Each structure stands twice: as C-alpha cells, then as structure tokens.
Amino acid sequence: MVNLSQQALDRTFAALVDPTRRAILTRLESEESLSVSELARPFAIKLPAVMKHLDVLGEAGLIARSKSGRTVAVRLTPAPMRAAMEWLRRYERFWSVRLDRLGAFAEAQERKARKSQRRKPRP
Amino acid sequence: MVNLSQQALDRTFAALVDPTRRAILTRLESEESLSVSELARPFAIKLPAVMKHLDVLGEAGLIARSKSGRTVAVRLTPAPMRAAMEWLRRYERFWSVRLDRLGAFAEAQERKARKSQRRKPRP
C-alpha cells in the first residue's frame, strides 16, 4: 500500500514538472471539458507533442479522455493532486511559523507604541 | 518574472518526483540539520547516489549544505515548496466541493431525523 501510494506520488509530481502540462491542467480547471484541438490551440507546440503530454497526464490519472465520433473530450480528474498537496502541507508550518513571528513582532511594536503614547505629557 | 517562477516550479516538482528525495526532505523536516552520512544511513543506496539526490535538492533550493571540517551539514530550506503548494491549492475546491456536498447531505439527514422524532406520538 505504501509503495503504491509512493508510486502514485511519483507519477503526480512527474506530471507536474512540465509547464505545458501544468498549463493544460490550469485550463481544464475552469472548463467542464475541452476537445484535444481546443486544448492544443494556445500552445506553440504541435498536436503530437500535446498528445504526448496528455498521455503523461492520463497515466498519472489527472485527466480523463472520452471519444465521441472524431472528437476526444478531455476533462480534469484532480483527485491525485490531493495526495501531492497533503504531502507538501507537512512543510506549511515553516511558513506559518514565520508569519506567527511576524505577527508577534507587529503586536509587540503596537504595545510599545501604545505605552509611549500613554507616557507622553498632556499638552 | 513569470518564466523564472515557472522554472522554479519545474525544479521543485522535478525534485519531488523521486521517493528517496522525498524521504530525505521528510527526515530533514524534523531535524535542525543532519550530516550527509546520517542522512544516507537509512537508505539502501550507496553514498554517491545519495550525494546526487542532494545535488538535485540543492539545485532546487530545497536544502542548504554547509561544510565544517570533514562534515557536511544538510538542512531544509523549504521556501520553494510554498509555490508548489500554492499551485496545487487552486484545485482544492474540487475536494472541498465534495466535502460541502457531504456536509449538506449530513445536515439534511439530521433535519429529517429530527422531524420524524417530533412526529412520533408520545407514549
């Protein structure tokens, strides 16, 4: 089980390495589904290259393809990204700790400012 | 700027593809710093292979190495993982939507249960 989930993580992260593949996922995020040619349109690369990227995304389980007649519809199946995000979430405390420290610093500064205000002699 | 941050994401995700590299990051998460040999100990692979993984992690900016005498201390520099997590966070709504629906379903069931309780004739 552990190895299977490790392999799934390998595939997910490998699929996310390429900026074109990330751009494909980003486009699919806002659309119910897109045809392969619609997906390929904004990219400078040729259709076969786009198809190869779709294969990688498909093998990682990040997209699903369905054929109707001549058109292949592509839609996002984002579930595997959840495990990738959970993996990264373990490191979130490093940013949050810094934010906590910043917050504590800001509060201390405010307390100081208030104290010095109180100390000022009234005119 | 966009390209630079895209390249940084490429490197971060590429560094995370390998399970040994992920295991190294996980170990460094709970330790202030570890020597290269301490890091290598639990892995079945040879030291030069570990060094190569450390190079990839170093190039991605995920670890920092400092030498004192013969010992190289390795520590986690997790900042680049934040951008990777932010990228993945865009897809979080797909899981949350499902959770929202589950929540709404649970609430509806509870309301139903309460209603049928009220309708029951008192003994």
- CA A25 to the chain's CA centroid: 9
Please tell me if residue A29 touches chain B, with a CB cutoff of 8 Å: yes
CB-CB under 8 Å, B29 with A9: no
Q: Which residue has the tokens 């709404």?
A: B104
Greater confidence, B81 or B4?
B81
Closest-CA residue in chain B for A6?
B19
Answering whether pTM is above 0.95, one says: no
At residue A94, the pLDDT reads 86
CB-CB under 8 Å, B85 with A92: yes
How many whole angstroms separate alpha carbon A57 and alpha carbon B108?
Answer: 37
Which conformational region is residue A66 in: left (phi greater than 0), alpha (psi within -120 to 50 degrees), or beta? Answer: beta
**Cα dist from B61 to A11, A20, A72, B52, whole Å:** 22, 22, 40, 14
- In chain A, residues with a C-beta closer than 8 Å to the C-beta of B13 are 13-14, 16-17
At residue B16, the pLDDT reads 98
At residue A93, the pLDDT reads 87
Which helix (H) or strand (E) element contains residue B85?
A: helix B79-89
Please tell me if residue A84 touches chain B, with a CB cutoff of 8 Å: yes
- In chain A, residues with a C-beta closer than 8 Å to the C-beta of B22 are 6, 9, 87
Please tell me if residue A10 touches chain B, with a CB cutoff of 8 Å: yes
| Per-residue pLDDT reduced to its tens digit, B55-99 | 999 999 999 999 989 999 999 999 999 999 999 999 998 887 655
SS3 content of chain A, % helix, strand, coil (to 5): 65, 10, 20
* Interface mutation vs chain A, best among B76, B81, B89, most A CBs within 10 Å: B81
For the residues B29-50, what does the mean pLDDT come to?
Answer: 92
Considering only CB atoms, A13 lies closest to which of B17, B79, B92, namely B17
Closest-CA residue in chain A for B6?
A19
At residue A79, the pLDDT reads 93
In B32-99, beta strands by DSSP E: 34-35, 63-68, 71-76
Q: In the predicted model, what is the mean pLDDT of chain B? A: 87
- In chain A, residues with a C-beta closer than 8 Å to the C-beta of B17 are 10, 13-14, 17
Q: What is the pLDDT along chain A (123 residues), one digit of tens a residue?
A: 458 889 999 999 999 999 999 999 999 999 999 999 999 999 989 999 999 999 999 999 999 999 989 999 999 999 999 999 999 999 998 887 655 666 666 777 777 777 777 665 555
Q: Is the pLDDT of residue B121 over 60?
A: no
At residue B120, the pLDDT reads 59
Considering only CB atoms, A10 lies closest to which of B19, B84, B87, namely B19
* A52-56, B19-23, B81-85, B116-120: least confident range: B116-120
Q: Is the pLDDT of residue B110 over 80?
A: no
Considering only CB atoms, A88 lies closest to which of B76, B81, B95, namely B81
Q: Which amino acid does the sequence have at A93?
A: R
Please tell me if residue B26 touches chain A, with a CB cutoff of 8 Å: yes
Residue B54 pLDDT grade (very low, low, confident, very high; cuts 50, 70, 90): very high
CB-CB under 8 Å, B89 with A81: no
Q: Is the pLDDT of residue B26 over 90?
A: yes
At residue A100, the pLDDT reads 62
ipTM value = 0.77
Q: Is the pLDDT of residue B118 over 90?
A: no
